[in-house]
């Protein structure tokens, strides 16, 4: 990864990444992952991978629940920040090429990482490979239905982003999980409109009624809970 490559973007803003992260979006994603997706799962002692750890909020939350956390990111400074924040083990790596043995983790968490890879399908395959049988993958990622809007905002300089953005369509994400040997248990939508618009109370009300229905396919973000099948390849 060179400094000119899109993959380097988040590493280039490592020192100010947390300040640039929108607090409403972060709070909602943490709630989706740990309350709605993992609320019934006991993480104490579970070997847990935070794939695309960034500056470490998800690693810290998992560690706070007793998980044995390994934090992975392509940026060395990001991993260093996460280790300091979460007390986790850190690995600098491309999630599409992970140097972990098959079936190494009980739980894999990945929030808003998949779209920043050059090969989202390969990334899901790798996360499935390192997951133990009956282990859980909890993944959030933007919905491809909003890709055009987001790219337009970038072109208009309404958002300071220069990295990779390969959004995955709602049905395609389910297909990719199934092909990787994962059974999708939950697929829900959140952020019915861009979180930058505010109206968070109204957004939560909409999600309460529509997040798991057909209308969820039109929401900005999606979350999947998938379990590795016994005979997955």
- Residue 1 located in a structural domain: no
Q: Give me the domain span that covers residue 166.
A: 6-228
> How many domains are contained in the chain?
1
Task: Work out the average pLDDT over 213-230.
Answer: 95
Does residue 100 lie within any of the structural domains?
yes
Within-domain flag for 104: yes
pLDDT digits (tens, 9 = 90+) for 107-148: 999 999 999 898 999 999 999 999 999 999 999 999 999 888
pLDDT tens for residues 4-40? 555 566 677 678 778 878 899 999 999 999 999 999 9
Residue pLDDT, tens place only, 2-14: 455 555 666 776 7
Tens digits of residue pLDDT in 177-213: 999 999 999 999 999 998 888 888 999 999 999 999 9
Residue 233: inside a domain: no
Q: Is residue 44 part of a domain?
A: yes
* Mean pLDDT over the full length of the chain: 90
Upper half-sphere CA count for residue 111 (Cβ side, 13 Å): 24
Residue 14's DSSP bridge partners are: none
CATH code, 123: 3.40.50.150
For residue 66, is it within any domain?
Answer: yes
Residue 15: Cβ-neighbour burial (10 angstroms; 0-12, 13-18, 19+) = exposed
pTM over 0.85: yes
């Amino acid at each position: 990864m060179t400094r000119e490559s899109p993959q380097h973007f988040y590493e280039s803003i490592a020192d100010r990444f947390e300040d640039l992260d929108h607090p409403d979006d972060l709070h909602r994603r943490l709630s989706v992952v740990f309350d709605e997706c993992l609320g019934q799962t006991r993480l104490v002692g579970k070997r847990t991978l935070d794939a695309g750890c960034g500056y470490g909020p998800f690693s810290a939350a998992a560690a706070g629940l007793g998980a044995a956390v390994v934090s992975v990111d392509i940026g060395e400074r990001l991993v260093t920040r996460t280790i300091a924040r979460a007390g986790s083990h850190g690995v600098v790596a491309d999630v599409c090429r992970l140097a972990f043995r098959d079936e190494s983790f009980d739980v894999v968490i990945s929030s808003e990482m998949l779209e920043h890879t050059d090969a989202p399908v390969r990334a899901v395959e790798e996360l499935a490979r390192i997951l133990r049988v009956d282990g859980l993958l909890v993944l959030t990622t933007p919905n491809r239905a909003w890709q055009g809007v987001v790219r337009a905002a970038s072109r208009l300089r309404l958002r300071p982003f220069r990295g990779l953005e390969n959004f995955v369509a709602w049905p395609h994400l389910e297909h990719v999980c199934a092909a990787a040997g994962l059974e999708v248990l939950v697929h829900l939508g959140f952020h019915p409109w861009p979180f930058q618009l505010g109206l968070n109370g109204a957004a939560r009300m909409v999600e309460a009624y529509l997040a798991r229905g057909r209308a969820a396919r039109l929401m900005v973000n999606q979350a999947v809970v998938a379990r590795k099948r016994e005979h997955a390849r």
